[in-house]
């Protein structure tokens, strides 16, 4: 009888250890899998942190000209020079500001945008029935010269666009030198025109 009880006792102990051991085995296995996965993720993160990601740059990015021109901001109505477009036989003075009183003097430079030689976005505006009457005849490749007290900044027309009058996407900062011309559109419209005619350029040379 004692041998039978002893055998049963050993069997019960074995079953007990098996029942306890199996969950422990699963827990240890789970911890091992999580540890291995975490280590691999850590290695991947470290590798990515050391990887240099090159920012996107357009292939045909325009030239950047950095100068010390225009160390003070011109006052409204102040003369900045003249704009000349030989292909259109166009030549008009350029003044600071685009209010009506300034546009009566010629072509207006939009305040808040860059000036020639500052390496940014230069925007000029003018009336379609006066200074920019012939602007619709400008063609890609035509040169536009902005003559200033520092010398001539020569730009080349590269594209045209018609946008609504309330479109503000044209007047955005840029990290390279470019000139944009704007005027009301259609050119033969009577009254407040609903659109704007935009000329895009790239800088070809500076003083």
What is the reported pTM? 0.67
Fold of 79-205: Sortase; Chain: A; (2.40.260)
Q: Helix H segments across the chain? A: 2-49, 100-103
* 45's tokens: 């993160």
30 dihedral zone (left: phi>0; alpha: psi -120 to 50; beta): alpha
Rounded CA separation 128/10 (Å): 105
Residues that are catalytic: 127, 184
Rounded CA separation 125/139 (Å): 18
Q: pLDDT band at 9, cuts 50/70/90?
A: low
Q: What is the pLDDT of residues 80-90, one digit of tens each?
A: 999 999 999 99
Q: What is the pLDDT of residues 76-120, one digit of tens each?
A: 999 999 999 999 999 999 999 999 999 999 999 999 999 999 999
Rounded CA separation 203/155 (Å): 4
């Amino acid at each position: 009888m004692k041998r039978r009880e002893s055998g049963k006792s050993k069997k019960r102990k074995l079953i007990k250890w098996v029942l306890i051991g199996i969950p422990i085995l699963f827990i240890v296995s789970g911890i091992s899998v999580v540890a291995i996965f975490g280590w691999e993720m850590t290695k991947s993160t470290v590798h990515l942190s050391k990887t240099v990601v090159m920012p996107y740059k357009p292939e045909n990015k325009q030239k950047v000209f950095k100068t010390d021109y225009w160390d003070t901001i011109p006052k409204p109505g102040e003369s900045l020079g003249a704009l000349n477009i030989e292909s259109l036989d166009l030549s008009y003075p350029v003044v600071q500001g685009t209010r009506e009183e300034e546009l009566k003097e010629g072509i207006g430079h939009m305040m808040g945008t860059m000036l020639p030689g500052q390496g940014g976005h230069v925007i000029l505006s003018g009336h379609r029935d006066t200074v920019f009457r012939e602007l619709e005849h400008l063609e890609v490749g035509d040169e536009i010269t902005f003559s200033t007290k520092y010398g001539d900044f020569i730009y080349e027309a590269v594209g045209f666009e018609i946008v609504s009058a309330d479109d503000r996407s044209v007047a955005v900062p840029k990290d390279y030198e470019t000139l944009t011309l704007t005027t009301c559109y259609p050119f033969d419209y009577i009254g407040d025109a609903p659109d704007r005619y935009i000329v895009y350029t790239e800088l070809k040379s500076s003083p």
